[in-house]
């Protein structure tokens, strides 16, 4: 495919400075990026960052305002520098801790190790991090703590006012993930009780004014007797001007019809025509990333001249830690690394060798429809904020280029400025349970940065009630509700694990839960469909995908966890390593909850009953008199089909339960298991009596 690139005219965007009751603070700066080049020591490098000129201003605002909103270009130094400035100014004295949250685990780890390196300390001592299942901090020693926003929410269960923290910096707030929004709502509540707590909300691409009005509580807060510190209630907005190195933006002259093919061609074009430097490609998910990696590896082998020049690496959350770490390894001399990633590399990461970014313009996003009660994972166009973040992965240690696989006209005229907050397009089951666990009873009246649809809340309450997690007064049940709230997993998976324990198949449900946590254990290779289908048949179980997963897992263990065995059977070795990792973590959680590990020794019926106990809300029945293979969900009569990747594709059992839905031309059920409908009324009597299932002739 021929690419017609033209340079873009996008200018760096700065926060607007109109007044309106909000303090705007800006120090003009003329940070010269090239002046940084050549500095040898880390200190000099730090002082060359645009944010350095604002050091005193930032400390002044944080001292005097309950909330400070900081907007600055990608790479200007917000994440790595501000926590250090706060530490230097004494905010971590007296056993207090400075927290910096990130939406993604990978960023938490990467940023924490960079800051530890800059401070010359061992990671896990003064600078540490916590992500789900991994705590690298030392109480009493750690002064700066990086953590995911989800982890900070969990910390609130033990310490609702987060009393350990003096400053909490919510970084990359533009992402508006579910956890970020819950956190922002709760932090606002905490501020009323803790005038000593300071918040920093930061991002390169946040709508500062909206965020500021959300946190503006001036007039609503009262000074209590005995309060020593009384910061200003109106938030301050600080615009950090100046950027790191220049990033030249290029657009397509004509829209691309196939973004995957366009991405591959662009990488090859860069490899052929541009000086050495690594390439970061943004695609959407494991399937298209695996295809692109395969195509690029084949193409690279065909290129005589550069036959060994490309090192192609995938990057997505379903990879084991070891495989993810490969992206940080230095590029071998004379070679060019190509990292093909989902949006997990979109924010906060600095990958030193990256000079070129290729942005497909798409990502996989969740969309929940409370009417049909179906949550889809859909490949959807990204926002301008995301596009800027993606471009910002170049230009961090030297100047770079970003190739956008869409036209400039599309970017300017059609791409939305910001994405829709996840809160407004997600199933809210996890969110509700977390708030309940924190004792927030009036969820519908909660002060959200963006209110979720009330129907979605009602749906979530209904499901949690049917799962036995909430009682009739919408309070957590004891012990089930409290235990499920303790497990950092989707409540449906948690319920499946707990039912598996009662039914005597905890070993199996834990394996299934681990496999459902990775995107796919199968490798999708183009052009060998027949061989792939045959391989799958070797493991296929008539009961469905969950039982098939257990067969694969058993085979993998019997092979001695062999990569060759995976290769031969079209199984994703990286994903299997990740499954082992997650399974170990789940075993630890089970142990904490007093769940003894027990196997049902091949009795698949009990396993399927345990799956039903967690996922009964996803039950479907085959439509007898309609087009072959069409199912309807019991809950909302939505038309759905079994995904071709399922072992039950074309088998079409009468009653099934699915794990998730993907939408392409139709709504497809992924990871499907055959059930007996009587298990549904057994698992959730009220839920299915409501649907009239007890009256349905099986
Ligand atoms: N691991 C690293 N190796 C080399 N330089 C790094 C590393 N991490 C950060 N830097 C340098 O520090 C700069 C600032 O990074 P930082 O993550 O603090 O910026 P930021 O403003 O938070 O960016 P973003 O909005 O993209 O998260 C980078 O542009 C880069 O020059």
397 lines ligand 1 (CB under 6 A): yes
**pLDDT, tens digit (0-9, with 9 covering 90-100), for 310-336:** 899 999 987 877 888 889 999 988 889
Cα four-point dihedral sign 326, 328, 331, 337: positive
The reply to whether 119 and 264 lie within a common domain is no
323 CA distance to ligand 1 middle (Å): 22
Residue with the nearest Cα to atom 8 of ligand 1? 350
Residue that terminates a domain, selected from 406, 423, 440: 423
Share above pLDDT 90 across residues of the chain, in percent, rounded to a whole number: 60
The reply to whether 546 and 523 lie within a common domain is yes
- For the cut 50, the answer to whether the pLDDT of residue 257 exceeds it is yes
The reply to whether 81 and 209 lie within a common domain is yes
Find tokens 């009795």 and name the residue: 603
The H or E element spanning position 615 is helix 604-615
8 CA distance to ligand 1 middle (Å): 24
214 CA distance to ligand 1 middle (Å): 28
103 lines ligand 1 (CB under 6 A): no
Rounded CA gap, 535 and 437, in Å? 45
Task: Say if CB 356 and CB 279 are below 8 A apart.
Answer: yes
Burial of 199 (C-beta count, 10 Å sphere; 0-12/13-18/19+): buried
Residue 416 lies in a domain: yes
Q: Residue 392 CA: which ligand 1 atom is closest?
A: 26
76 CA distance to ligand 1 middle (Å): 7
Determine which of 292-301, 326-335, 599-608, 687-696 has the lowest per-residue pLDDT on average. Answer: 687-696
Task: Say if CB 347 and CB 394 are below 8 A apart.
Answer: no
Residue with the nearest Cα to atom 26 of ligand 1? 74
Rounded CA gap, 308 and 314, in Å? 18
The reply to whether 157 and 270 lie within a common domain is no
Residue 177 lies in a domain: yes
Residue that terminates a domain, selected from 390, 423, 456: 423
Nearest alpha carbon to residue 22 among 153, 169, 215: 215
What pLDDT, on the 0 to 100 scale, is given for residue 691? 56
Buried b (16+ CB within 10 A) or exposed e, 601-639: eeebebbbbbbbbbbbbbbbbbeeeeeeebbebbbeebe
661 CA distance to ligand 1 middle (Å): 37
31 lines ligand 1 (CB under 6 A): no
73 CA distance to ligand 1 middle (Å): 11
Residues in the chain: 698
Confidence band of 9 (pLDDT split at 50, 70, 90):
low
81 lines ligand 1 (CB under 6 A): yes
DSSP H stretches of helix in 504-592: 506-516, 529-537, 545-558, 563-568, 573-592
What pLDDT, on the 0 to 100 scale, is given for residue 6? 65
Rounded CA gap, 595 and 448, in Å? 36
628 CA distance to ligand 1 middle (Å): 54
What pLDDT, on the 0 to 100 scale, is given for residue 489? 82
Rounded CA gap, 538 and 551, in Å? 9
Residue 693 lies in a domain: no
441 lines ligand 1 (CB under 6 A): no
User: For the chain, what percentages of helix, strand and coil (3-state, to nearest 5) are there?
Assistant: 40, 20, 40
- Reduced to 3 states, what is the DSSP secondary structure of residue 543? coil
- For the cut 70, the answer to whether the pLDDT of residue 4 exceeds it is no
400 lines ligand 1 (CB under 6 A): no
392 lines ligand 1 (CB under 6 A): yes
Rounded CA gap, 356 and 337, in Å? 10
What pLDDT, on the 0 to 100 scale, is given for residue 526? 65
The reply to whether 230 and 373 lie within a common domain is no
Q: Which of 29-33, 104-108, 375-379 has the highest mean pLDDT?
A: 104-108
645 CA distance to ligand 1 middle (Å): 40
Rounded CA gap, 301 and 309, in Å? 9
Over residues 373-389, mean pLDDT: 89
- Residue 230 belongs to what domain range? 14-240
Q: Residue 395 CA: which ligand 1 atom is closest?
A: 29
Task: Say if CB 648 and CB 656 are below 8 A apart.
Answer: yes
Greater pLDDT, 566 or 317: 566
Residue 632 lies in a domain: yes
For residue 357, give the CATH number of its domain: 3.40.50.300
Per DSSP, 421 falls in state: P
351 CA distance to ligand 1 middle (Å): 9
Task: Say if CB 100 and CB 80 are below 8 A apart.
Answer: no
Determine which of 25-29, 296-300, 417-421, 581-585 has the lowest per-residue pLDDT on average. Answer: 25-29
Write phi, then psi, for 401 (nearest 5 degrees).
-135, 145
Question: DSSP readout, 582-604?
Answer: HHHHHHHHHHHTTPPP---TT-H
The reply to whether 263 and 233 lie within a common domain is no
Greater pLDDT, 634 or 627: 634
Residue 691 lies in a domain: no
609 lines ligand 1 (CB under 6 A): no
Determine which of 307-311, 415-419, 565-569 has the lowest per-residue pLDDT on average. Answer: 307-311
Our measurement of the distance from residue 419's CA atom to the centroid of its chain's CA atoms, rounded to an integer in Å, reads: 14
Confidence band of 531 (pLDDT split at 50, 70, 90):
confident
The reply to whether 389 and 532 lie within a common domain is no
Question: What are the CA-CA distances from residue 194 to residues 160, 223, 230, 282, 413 (Å)?
Answer: 11, 11, 10, 41, 44
The reply to whether 569 and 594 lie within a common domain is yes
**pLDDT, tens digit (0-9, with 9 covering 90-100), for 77-96:** 999 999 999 999 999 999 99
Task: Say if CB 363 and CB 282 are below 8 A apart.
Answer: yes
Q: What does the block give as tokens for 259?
A: 């973004």
Residue with the nearest Cα to atom 2 of ligand 1? 350
680 lines ligand 1 (CB under 6 A): no
Total structural domains in the chain? Answer: 3
The reply to whether 604 and 655 lie within a common domain is yes
Determine which of 197-201, 256-260, 376-380 has the lowest per-residue pLDDT on average. Answer: 376-380
Task: Say if CB 186 and CB 152 are below 8 A apart.
Answer: no
- For the cut 60, the answer to whether the pLDDT of residue 576 exceeds it is yes
**pLDDT, tens digit (0-9, with 9 covering 90-100), for 604-620:** 999 999 999 999 999 99
- For the cut 90, the answer to whether the pLDDT of residue 52 exceeds it is yes
Task: Say if CB 274 and CB 401 are below 8 A apart.
Answer: yes
109 lines ligand 1 (CB under 6 A): no
**Angle at Cα 688 formed by Cα 683 and Cα 694, nearest 5°?**
105
Over residues 51-67, mean pLDDT: 96
434 lines ligand 1 (CB under 6 A): no
Residue 466 lies in a domain: no
The H or E element spanning position 505 is none
- For the cut 90, the answer to whether the pLDDT of residue 374 exceeds it is no
Residue 19 lies in a domain: yes
**pLDDT, tens digit (0-9, with 9 covering 90-100), for 410-462:** 999 999 998 999 999 988 998 999 899 988 888 888 898 988 998 899 889 98
What pLDDT, on the 0 to 100 scale, is given for residue 219? 58
Task: Say if CB 340 and CB 293 are below 8 A apart.
Answer: yes
Residue 696 lies in a domain: no
What pLDDT, on the 0 to 100 scale, is given for residue 11? 44
353 lines ligand 1 (CB under 6 A): no
Residue with the nearest Cα to atom 6 of ligand 1? 350
Q: Residue 397 CA: which ligand 1 atom is closest?
A: 31
Q: What does the block give as tokens for 586?
A: 């789940």
The reply to whether 166 and 273 lie within a common domain is no
Q: What does the block give as tokens for 53?
A: 């000129």
The reply to whether 108 and 254 lie within a common domain is no
Greater pLDDT, 382 or 691: 382
111 CA distance to ligand 1 middle (Å): 8
Pocket test for ligand 1, best of 350, 387, 399 (most atoms within 8 A of CB): 350
Our measurement of the distance from residue 497's CA atom to the centroid of its chain's CA atoms, rounded to an integer in Å, reads: 23
What pLDDT, on the 0 to 100 scale, is given for residue 35? 35
Residue that terminates a domain, selected from 206, 240, 274: 240
The reply to whether 217 and 342 lie within a common domain is no
**pLDDT, tens digit (0-9, with 9 covering 90-100), for 467-519:** 899 998 889 998 889 888 888 888 899 999 999 999 999 999 999 999 998 87
Cα four-point dihedral sign 440, 445, 446, 452: positive
State the virtual CA torsion across 338, 344, 347, 349 in degrees, nearest 10: -50
């Amino acid at each position: 495919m021929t690419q017609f690139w033209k340079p873009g005219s996008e200018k760096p965007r700065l926060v607007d400075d109109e007044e309106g009751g909000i303090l705007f603070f800006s120090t003009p700066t003329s940070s010269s990026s090239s002046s940084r080049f050549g500095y040898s020591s880390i200190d000099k490098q730090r002082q060359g960052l645009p944010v350095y000129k604002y050091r005193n201003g930032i400390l002044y605002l944080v001292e005097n305002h309950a909330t400070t909103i900081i907007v600055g270009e990608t790479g200007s130094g917000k994440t790595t520098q501000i926590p250090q400035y706060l530490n230097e100014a004494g905010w971590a004295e007296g056993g207090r801790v400075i927290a910096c949250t990130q939406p993604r685990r990978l960023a938490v780890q990467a940023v924490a190790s960079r800051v530890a390196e800059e401070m010359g300390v061992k990671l896990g001592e003064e600078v540490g991090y916590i992500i789900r299942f991994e705590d690298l901090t030392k109480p009493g020693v750690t002064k700066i703590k990086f953590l995911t926003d989800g982890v900070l929410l969990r910390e609130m269960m033990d310490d609702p006012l987060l009393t350990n923290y003096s400053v909490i910096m919510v970084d990359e707030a533009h992402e508006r993930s579910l956890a970020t929004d819950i956190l922002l709502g709760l932090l606002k509540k905490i501020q009323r009780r803790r005038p000593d707590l300071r918040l920093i909300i930061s991002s390169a691409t946040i709508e500062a004014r909206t965020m500021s009005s959300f946190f503006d509580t001036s007039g609503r807060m009262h000074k209590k007797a005995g309060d020593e510190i009384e910061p200003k209630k109106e938030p301050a907005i600080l615009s950090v001007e100046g950027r790191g190195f220049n990033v030249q933006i290029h657009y397509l002259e004509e829209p691309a019809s196939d973004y995957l093919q366009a991405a591959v061609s662009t990488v090859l074009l860069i490899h052929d025509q541009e000086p050495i430097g690594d390439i970061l490609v943004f695609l959407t998910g494991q399937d298209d990333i695996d295809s692109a990696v395969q195509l690029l590896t084949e193409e690279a082998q065909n290129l005589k001249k550069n036959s060994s020049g490309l090192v192609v690496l995938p990057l997505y959350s379903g990879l084991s830690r070891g495989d993810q770490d490969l992206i940080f390894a230095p590029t071998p001399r004379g070679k060019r690394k190509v990292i093909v990633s989902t949006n997990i590399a979109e924010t906060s990461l600095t990958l030193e060798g990256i000079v070129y970014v290729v942005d497909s313009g798409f990502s996989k996003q969740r969309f929940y429809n409370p009417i049909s009660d179906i949550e889809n994972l859909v490949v959807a166009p990204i926002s301008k904020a995301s596009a800027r973040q993606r471009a910002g992965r170049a230009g961090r240690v030297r100047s770079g280029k970003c190739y956008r696989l869409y036209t400039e006209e599309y970017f300017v005229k059609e791409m939305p400025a910001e994405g829709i907050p996840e809160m407004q397009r997600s199933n809210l089951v996890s969110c509700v349970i977390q708030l309940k666990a924190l004792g927030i009873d009036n969820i519908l009246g909660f002060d959200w940065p963006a209110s979720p649809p009330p129907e979605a809340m009602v749906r979530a309450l209904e499901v949690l009630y049917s799962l036995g997690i909430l009682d009739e007064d919408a309070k957590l049940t004891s012990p089930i509700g409290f235990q499920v709230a303790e497990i950092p997993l989707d409540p449906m998976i948690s319920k499946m694990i707990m039912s598996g324990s009662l039914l005597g198949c905890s070993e199996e449900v834990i394996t299934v839960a681990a496999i459902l946590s990775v995107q796919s254990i199968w490798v999708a290779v183009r052009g060998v469909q027949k061989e792939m289908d045959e391989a799958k048949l070797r493991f296929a179980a008539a009961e469905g995908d969950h039982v098939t997963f257990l067969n694969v897992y058993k085979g993998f263990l019997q092979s001695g966890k062999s990569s060759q065995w995976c290769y031969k059977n079209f199984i994703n070795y990286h994903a299997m390593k990740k499954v082992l990792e997650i399974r170990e973590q789940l075993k630890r959680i089970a142990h904490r909850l007093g769940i003894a590990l027990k196997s049902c020794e091949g009795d698949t019926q009990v396993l399927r009953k345990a799956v039903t106990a967690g996922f009964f809300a996803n039950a479907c029945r085959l439509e007898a008199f309609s087009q072959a293979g069409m199912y309807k969900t019991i809950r909302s009569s939505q038309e759905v089909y079994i995904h071709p990747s399922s072992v039950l594709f074309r088998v079409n059992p009468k009653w099934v339960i699915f794990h998730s839905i993907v939408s392409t031309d139709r709504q497809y059920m992924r990871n499907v298991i055959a059930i007996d409908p009587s298990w549904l009324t057994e698992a959730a009597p009220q839920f299915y009596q409501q649907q009239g299932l007890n009256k349905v002739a099986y």
